[in-house]
Structure 1
């Protein structure tokens, strides 16, 4: 059951920014990178990585973590690490010349699920095999949920 709880929380952390954008549109958005470009002429993270999205993950995930019987601190850590993984993915995608929201299978899912799972997995009773299974499940579910979110007009593009 804790495997499913952690998987759900990682999905929530990664979905909170998307859902917030759907609810609030372009209001109160401020890019994490402030529009800064590196020497390659590309944005650090891109326009879709916003402080509002990070705040949504950091607020929603701990609340749901407590509802599932775990500590708010675990939820905050899950959200923070998922967002660090997401920013890292975006950074790599910009360096590869991929546009914001472009698909990069694995790069879009693994860092944002592996970082939180590896750090809090033991608190959820998971071993290394469970964590590998969780990451694999996240990749598959994220691909499926992305397509559903696109059809529901929650996402601009499916993965």
Structure 2
């Protein structure tokens, strides 16, 4: 059963992936990961996926994981009437989550190019879930994932994405609401 405690456990996993996926574009990189190569006549990933952005995403996730490790003892976990199954964060866990999130984002770009969706154009659900799926795949190698966490993350992420982009659009931070 999914309850508030399981929700808290799942959300704890989100922070490094959200940091990686949300801030990687700050790198403004020049070196595209695919090097301009094509696959079946279409860009492999497109020039929007750069080594600088990929690496920045992984570094940010590593820093977020480190921050979570530092603040963990000071959070009020003991207020919970049940024992929480919180995944211990560390620089390594942040790195794994960041690497998975960025790899998932690349996978999403690869799929978008295959079906003819150009860079910057929306692909509902794929745009919101690619990095979470990548994170979960990589995380599964180092943590026993609960199915409830997967369900929560897959449902919560598109909702957060819609709300965050809507707010950014209203604040004129983004030119489009998606």
Query: Per the shorter chain, which TM-score range?
Result: 0.7 to 0.9
Question: Of 51, 61, 77, which residue of structure 1 is paired with 2:96?
Answer: 77
Question: Of 3, 17, 21, which residue of structure 1 is paired with 2:10?
Answer: 3
Q: Classify the secondary structure of the residue corresponding to 2:48.
A: coil
Distance 1:36 1:155 in 2: 29
Distance 2:173 2:43 in 1: 24
Aligned pairs for 1:114-129 (under 5 A) are 114-120=133-139, 127-129=146-148
Contact 2:10 2:152 in 1 (8 A): no
Instruction: Quickly say closer, same or farther: Cα 1:8–1:38, change in 2 above 3 A.
Output: same
Instruction: State how many pairs are aligned.
Output: 152
Deviation digits for residues 33-91 of structure 1, max 9, x if unmatched? 1111222x221101111111111111111111111121111111111111111111111
Aligned pairs for 1:49-128 (under 5 A) are 49-69=49-69, 70-120=89-139, 127-128=146-147
Aligned-pair CA distance for 1:111: 2.4
Distance 1:10 1:59 in 2: 11
Distance 1:34 1:153 in 2: 33
- Give unmatched runs, 5+ long, in structure 1: none
Instruction: Please identify the structure whose Cα radius of gyration is greater.
Output: 2
Query: 1:13 maps to what in 2?
Result: 20
Q: Classify the secondary structure of the residue corresponding to 2:119.
A: coil
Contact 2:32 2:46 in 1 (8 A): yes
Q: Classify the secondary structure of the residue corresponding to 1:110.
A: helix
Contact 2:16 2:97 in 1 (8 A): yes
TM-score (norm 2): 0.74
- Give unmatched runs, 5+ long, in structure 2: 1-7, 70-88
Contact 2:100 2:137 in 1 (8 A): no
Instruction: Quickly say closer, same or farther: Cα 1:67–1:121, change in 2 above 3 A.
Output: farther
Q: Classify the secondary structure of the residue corresponding to 1:75.
A: helix
